[in-house]
């Protein structure tokens, strides 16, 4: 990535959050609207760090929290069966109360940083992180949340009526983890006539993980289209 983007690991708290860290990527201007970037089950690995820099290059101050820190810090997993099994185990070990506390702590930390400009905060996440982006809107009051193939959101739609920020969903047509019936439930609960700022897109011919260029399911066309929609959505709401 261009040397215009400065990035580093930073602390996200003290006390009960001592040891909680995140990968911070700054825009060329050094400051910008805040964007929480939520990882897949593979950790804040090289791919997620490059995605953080991608959004930073667009002008956002990006923070990718290390969600698995309580079990294993700075874990980096590959996309093979072993990495997927390890990631699922780490995800399953997170207590719901701890997950909420970490989301709230990450949002508060980003809002307090000198590189955060303005008053608005966004979130974007992939797979497991797609659900965390949705939960960031419910629990941390982010102004705009982008969820890429976020699993399990259809089981937490009771939170939707209380979400005040806008939501953007990206789903794969042929996702073996998220059936289209679940996508329809998410769309029906969030993209109603009373929520014109929300949108839900399904990408024909794609599979789960279509945004990740490190995976066999990567789909360049869908990835580019979803990125363009995400950047427009975030820019209109955060700048």
Token pair 């009771």: residue:
158
pLDDT score recorded for residue 193: 79
2 pLDDT exceeds 90?
A: no
pLDDT score recorded for residue 14: 87
Cross-strand bridge partners of residue 32: 116
Q: What angle do CA 227, 232, 49 make, to 5 degrees?
A: 40
For residues 80-90, average pLDDT: 96
pLDDT tens-digit profile of 144-182?
A: 999 999 999 999 999 999 999 999 999 999 999 999 999
For residues 199-218, average pLDDT: 97
Q: What angle do CA 234, 23, 19 make, to 5 degrees?
A: 130
C-alpha 17/C-alpha 24 separation (Å) is 17
3-state secondary structure of 47: helix
Average pLDDT, the chain: 96
Token pair 């667009």: residue:
58
pLDDT score recorded for residue 3: 75
Token pair 């700054």: residue:
26
pLDDT tens-digit profile of 59-78?
A: 999 999 999 999 999 999 99
Long-range contacts of 81-87 (CB under 8 A, 24+ apart): 83/42, 84/41, 84/42, 87/40, 87/41, 87/42, 87/43, 87/128
Return the active site residues.
Answer: 127, 175, 208
Question: Alpha-carbon torsion 81, 207, 219, 38, what sign?
Answer: negative
127 pLDDT exceeds 80?
A: yes
C-alpha 137/C-alpha 120 separation (Å) is 12
Domains of the chain: 6-238 (3.40.50.1820)
Residue 145 contacts by C-beta under 8 Å, 6 or more apart in sequence? 122, 123, 124, 133, 134, 136, 137, 165, 166, 167, 168
1 pLDDT exceeds 60?
A: no
């Amino acid at each position: 990535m261009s040397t215009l983007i400065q990035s580093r690991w930073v602390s996200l708290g003290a006390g009960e959050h001592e040891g909680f860290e995140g990968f911070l990527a700054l825009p060329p201007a050094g400051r910008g609207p805040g964007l929480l970037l939520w990882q897949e089950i593979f950790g804040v690995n090289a791919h997620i760090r490059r995605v953080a820099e991608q959004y930073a290059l667009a002008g956002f101050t990006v923070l990718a929290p290390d969600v698995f820190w309580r079990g294993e810090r700075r874990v980096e997993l590959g996309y093979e069966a072993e990495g997927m099994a390890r990631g699922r185990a780490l995800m399953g070990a997170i207590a719901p109360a701890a997950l909420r506390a970490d989301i709230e702590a990450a949002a508060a930390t980003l809002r307090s940083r000198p590189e955060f400009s303005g008053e608005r905060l966004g979130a974007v996440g992939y797979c497991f992180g797609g659900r965390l982006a949705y939960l960031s809107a419910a629990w941390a009051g982010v102004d705009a949340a982008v969820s890429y193939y976020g699993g399990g959101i259809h089981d937490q739609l009771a939170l939707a009526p209380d979400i005040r920020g806008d939501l953007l969903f990206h789903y794969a047509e042929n996702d073996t983890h998220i059936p289209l019936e679940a996508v329809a439930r998410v769309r029906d609960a969030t993209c109603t006539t009373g929520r014109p700022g929300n949108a839900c897109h399904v990408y024909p011919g794609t599979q789960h993980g279509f945004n990740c260029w490190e995976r066999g399911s990567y789909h360049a066309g869908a990835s580019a289209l979803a990125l363009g929609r995400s950047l427009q959505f975030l820019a209109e709401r955060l700048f």
